[in-house]
Structures are given as C-alpha cells and as structure tokens.
C-alpha cells in the first residue's frame, strides 16, 4: 500500500457512522455514503488494499455537494479536494471491519495515486432515494430540466499564470461567440426544416425571430475554477399558437451538439461534410465563432453533457489550411467604396450655387483638395418631434466617417456621441438628440439641466412647435 504522511490518531473521530448507500460498487462497495449521529454526510472511498486490509479514505461532504455529484455536476475529485475540511481520514479496515492505522491527512499530502481524475464524474442513474431527497429540498425543477439538457463548456487556460482561472474578457467573449453560433444554427435549421411548409417568407422570418428570443442560450450552471458554464435552451415555452414546432425545439440543442460541437475540425473529411450541408454564408455565421473559440490563444475547450456520456476535448489549434476549407478567405468586395472627407477649394462665379457644380465644371474649377479626418458640421436649425429650434449661432458638431463607412457625430458640449449608416441619418439623429435634450431639460432645475440649458441659450434664437416634420435648410 502507499505510504501516508499525516497525523496518526488512535480512532476515527466521528461517532455513530452508519451506511446510507453505495454510490459505486462491484462485488463490494467502492464509494459509499455514510451519515454520523448528527446526520452529517461522509464518503468512504476505496483506495488501496493488501493481504490484511482494505484502505478507505473518509471525509465530510455537504448534502448539496453529494446531490451535485450524483447529478454529474461535480467530480469525485472536486468532492475530495473541496477546501471545506481540515483533514481527510485514512483508515485500514481488516477482515472484521476494525479500524487500523487511522491517519488524518492534509489534502495536499494525499498520495497522487489516491486522487481521482478531473473527469471522475458519476455516470450511473441517480439512486431513487437521492432523487426523492433532492426533490424534497425544493430543487427548481425548471432549472433542473434545463441542466439535464445542457451542454457544459469548460475553458481551461493554456498557461498557468493565473492558476486555473480564465479572464473575464475571455469568458464573456466565449459566451457571446457560442450564443451567436447557436442562434445562427437555429435560424438555419428552422429555415431548412420548414421552408417547404411555410411558404410565406415574411412569416417564416417572423417565427424565426420569435424562436431566437425563446431559444437564446440560458446559463444554467457556473463554476469559476476553470471557467465552466452550462448552456441550455428552453424546450417548454413555445410559440402560443403552434405546437408542431415542439419536437424541433426539443431536439435543436442536441442537433447543434452533433453538427457543430461533436466535430473534429482538423479532419478534412468532416469539414467537407459540413460544406456539403451548409452554404458558405451559413458556415460563416455558425462555424466562424467556433473556429475563433478553438483558436483562442488563452484557453482550450472541453464540452460535455451533464452526465459526461458525451465529451469532446479540443486540443491544439485549427490550422489555416483546415479553416480555409470551411471558411474560404473572403475576396475583398470590389463594390466597397471607402468614404472619406475632403476639403476642396474651387474657382466659381460669384453667387453660384455650389451644390449644383458637377462633373467637368467642378474639375476645371478645382484649385486644390485636402483629405480631412473630421470636420465641424454646422446646424442653423434642429427639427424633430414637431419641435423646431432656430439657432442665432450655429451649433457645430464633429462629423467624420470611419473605416467601415459609419458616420459619427460628436459634441462634447451637449454630450452627444452617435453613429449612423448615412449622412442623412446622422444629421437627423443629431437633431433628434438636440431636441430631446432641450425638451427634457428646459423645465428642470437640477445642476446638470441648468448647465445644459446655459449651453443651449448661447445658440438658441427661438423654439417653436410645428405640426409637420418637414426639413429645414441648414
């Protein structure tokens, strides 16, 4: 037997122990649940034997943890190494079940051979007795149902710099990516399944949108030492009027597991199979987040079901060559025209309307131009929600276009920072914001409102209410 380092004691300092059940057994007990006279729970775990003794490790455990173990949520190793106790006891039981060589061992002094593996999860059906007891303790049955169906994602850091923890940014990034991948998969699968039966495209889109809300992955389990999260989807709530989607809804998470998670992303054959079943656009939506997760430099991923009957560990990164099979490199779209701002100086006839100078006239009149990062855009009026603000002095805001052709309007003075897809939209939005700020602050007397109204008063000539929302010239 293994040599033990610990404090030799003459007897096991727990009285009135009686066995409740064997969790693991084969031709004799292997892991047994005991309670003491005060109904505190203990585990006996068989770890060694010789010609005279069987050696058992004995330690205290909470009932909640026992149930979590039986439900496959925590491993035997976690139960054993949980820092809720000073010692684990070792006892050598002889043929008459008398205790010999009782030793109190610090957890860190346990022989490595006695420590169960990380994946030492309980995989058998939960004994009825414990099912009943856990129900008696008012477990949330809805949550339990989701937990049973959930996929459990464990992120373990690639470097031990911060022990087994992963950064909050990594964890949140992971959740966002996996949720997006799942929701896109759900959309694709619903579309494929029902496109023949729901021929009204707008109705199909509407149902998909409703399901996106219902099936948004729910967090049903969290563990922080190695980030582990259980994600599940609701299979109970469904669209009111239609129950024919129920079976589809029930199976969607399993389908996602089979088609997206249980994949060897380094196998060319499996990737080509995916290509057969999904368009490039669908692959980008569903599989691209997965590739990003698997290639994250900070962590590696293991996915299991609740009982660990399903397990896939992703070790190593996905090569560029394999990625390109699944997600061919995008050819830059030629139609993408990058918008920029220019200041131009032109020669023109006095009184000429500059907005009408076009083509050749512009070319011949152009003296020089200069690219600008941003410009101050002036407003003489703001109009929105049936209100008009006329300014005696122009209100100016910073106006620029970013690398994605998104338009930005920013004003430190009024605390407005907005983004839009077009020039017209951004100017309209800026006016909306100004009017909204004016209307919501002009009757208030708090410090911030008064300061804001002081700013308005520097510019404002008049405020009027208008019945229609026509545009004013700037």
Partner 1 sequence: MAKKLKYQSLIEENQLQNNCPYDGCKEARLKAYRWSYNPINSAHNFLPKNIYDKLMNTPPRGNSQDDFIKCSCCALSMFDSLEKAREKFSGFTSRVKLMLGYTHIAEGEIVEADGIISDIKNGHLDVFEYEGIELKLKFQIITPLN
Query: Which residues of the chain form contacts with partner 1 (CB under 8 A)?
Result: 18-19, 24, 26-30, 32, 34, 44, 46-54, 56, 76, 93-95, 97, 113-114, 116-117, 120, 122-125
Query: Cα(332)–Cα(440) distance, rounded to whole angstroms?
Result: 45
- Cβ proximity to partner 1: between 18 and 360 the closer is 18
Min dist CB 122 to partner 1, Å, is: 7
Query: Cα(315)–Cα(68) distance, rounded to whole angstroms?
Result: 27
CA-CA-CA-CA torsion for 124, 125, 128, 130, nearest 10 degrees?
60
**Bridge partners, 370 (sequence order):** 343
Closest by CA position to 12, among listed 46, 36, 30, 28: 36
Q: Quick check: 94 and 100 in contact, CB under 8 A?
A: yes
Q: Quick check: 53 and 73 in contact, CB under 8 A?
A: no
Q: What is the DSSP letter of 451?
A: H
Q: Quick check: 127 and 70 in contact, CB under 8 A?
A: yes
Min dist CB 5 to partner 1, Å, is: 18
Min dist CB 8 to partner 1, Å, is: 21
Closest by CA position to 260, among listed 189, 204, 329, 322: 189
What is the total residue count of the chain?
474
**Bridge partners, 369 (sequence order):** 344
- Cβ proximity to partner 1: between 45 and 381 the closer is 45
Min dist CB 309 to partner 1, Å, is: 8
Query: Cα(89)–Cα(102) distance, rounded to whole angstroms?
Result: 7
Both tokens assigned to 289: 């987040």
- Cβ proximity to partner 1: between 26 and 320 the closer is 26
- Cβ proximity to partner 1: between 113 and 331 the closer is 113
- Cβ proximity to partner 1: between 6 and 116 the closer is 116
- Cβ proximity to partner 1: between 23 and 381 the closer is 23
Min dist CB 128 to partner 1, Å, is: 12
Provide the pairing of β-strand 88-93 with 54-61. Answer: antiparallel
- Cβ proximity to partner 1: between 130 and 287 the closer is 130
Both tokens assigned to 395: 């209100």
- Cβ proximity to partner 1: between 113 and 159 the closer is 113
Min dist CB 115 to partner 1, Å, is: 8
- Cβ proximity to partner 1: between 117 and 332 the closer is 117
Min dist CB 229 to partner 1, Å, is: 24
Min dist CB 31 to partner 1, Å, is: 8
Query: Cα(346)–Cα(366) distance, rounded to whole angstroms?
Result: 4
Min dist CB 88 to partner 1, Å, is: 15
- Cβ proximity to partner 1: between 21 and 210 the closer is 21
Q: Quick check: 400 and 374 in contact, CB under 8 A?
A: yes
Both tokens assigned to 171: 């964890």
φ and ψ at 242, to 5 degrees?
A: -125, 120
Q: What is the DSSP string of 25-89?
A: ESSSEEEEEEE-TT--EEEEEEEEE-SS-EEEEEEEE-HHHHHHHHTTSS-HHHHHH-SS-S-EE
Provide the pairing of β-strand 41-49 with 29-35. Answer: antiparallel
Min dist CB 44 to partner 1, Å, is: 5
Min dist CB 65 to partner 1, Å, is: 17
- Cβ proximity to partner 1: between 114 and 248 the closer is 114
Q: How many contiguous H segments (helices) and E segments (strands) does the chain have? A: 14, 19
Closest by CA position to 301, among listed 286, 287, 317: 317
């Amino acid at each position: 037997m293994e040599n033990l380092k610990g404090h030799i004691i003459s007897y096991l300092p727990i009285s009135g122990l009686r066995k409740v059940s064997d969790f693991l057994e084969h031709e004799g007990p292997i892991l047994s649940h005991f309670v003491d006279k005060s109904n505190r729970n203990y585990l006996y775990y068989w770890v060694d034997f010789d010609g005279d003794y069987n050696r058992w490790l004995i330690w205290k455990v909470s009932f909640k943890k026992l149930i979590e173990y039986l439900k496959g949520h925590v491993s035997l190793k976690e139960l054993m190494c949980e820092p809720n106790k000073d010692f684990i006891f070792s006892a050598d039981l002889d043929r008459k079940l008398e205790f010999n060589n009782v030793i109190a061992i610090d957890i860190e002094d346990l022989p490595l051979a006695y420590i169960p593996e990380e994946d030492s999860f309980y995989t058998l059906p939960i004994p009825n007795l414990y099912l009943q007891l856990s129900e008696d303790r008012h477990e949330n049955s809805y949550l339990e149902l989701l937990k049973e169906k959930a996929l459990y994602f464990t992120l373990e850091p690639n470097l031990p710099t911060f022990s087994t923890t992963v950064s909050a940014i990594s964890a949140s990034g992971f959740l966002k990516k996996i949720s997006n991948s799942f929701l896109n998969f759900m959309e694709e699968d619903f579309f494929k399944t029902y496109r023949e039966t729901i021929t009204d495209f707008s109705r199909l889109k509407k149902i998909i949108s409703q399901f996106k809300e219902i099936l948004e992955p729910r967090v049903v389990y969290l563990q922080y030492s190695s980030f582990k999260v259980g994600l599940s989807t609701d299979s109970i709530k469904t669209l009111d009027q239609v129950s024919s989607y129920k079976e589809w809804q029930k199976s969607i998470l399993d389908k996602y597991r089979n088609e997206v998670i249980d994949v060897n992303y380094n196998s060319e054959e499996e990737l080509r199979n995916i290509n057969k079943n999904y368009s490039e656009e669908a692959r980008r939506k569903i599989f691209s987040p997965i590739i990003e997760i698997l290639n994250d430099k900070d962590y590696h991923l293991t996915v299991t079901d609740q009982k660990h009957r399903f397990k896939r560990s992703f070790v190593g990164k996905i090569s560029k060559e394999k990625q390109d099979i699944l997600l061919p490199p995008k050819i830059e779209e030629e139609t993408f025209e990058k918008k920029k701002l220019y200041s131009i100086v032109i020669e023109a006839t006095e009184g000429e309307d500059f907005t009408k100078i076009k083509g050749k006239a512009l070319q011949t009149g152009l003296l020089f131009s200069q690219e600008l990062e941003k410009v101050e855009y002036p407003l003489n009026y703001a109009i929105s929600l049936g209100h008009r603000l006329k300014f005696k002095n122009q209100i100016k805001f910073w106006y620029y276009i970013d690398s994605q052709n998104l338009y930005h309007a920013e004003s430190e003075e009024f605390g407005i920072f907005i983004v839009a897809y077009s020039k017209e939209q951004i100017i309209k939005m800026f006016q909306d914001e100004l009017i909204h700020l004016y209307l919501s602050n002009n009757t208030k007397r708090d410090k911030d409102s008064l300061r804001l109204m002081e700013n308005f008063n520097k510019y404002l000539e008049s405020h009027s209410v208008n019945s229609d929302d026509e545009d004013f010239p700037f």
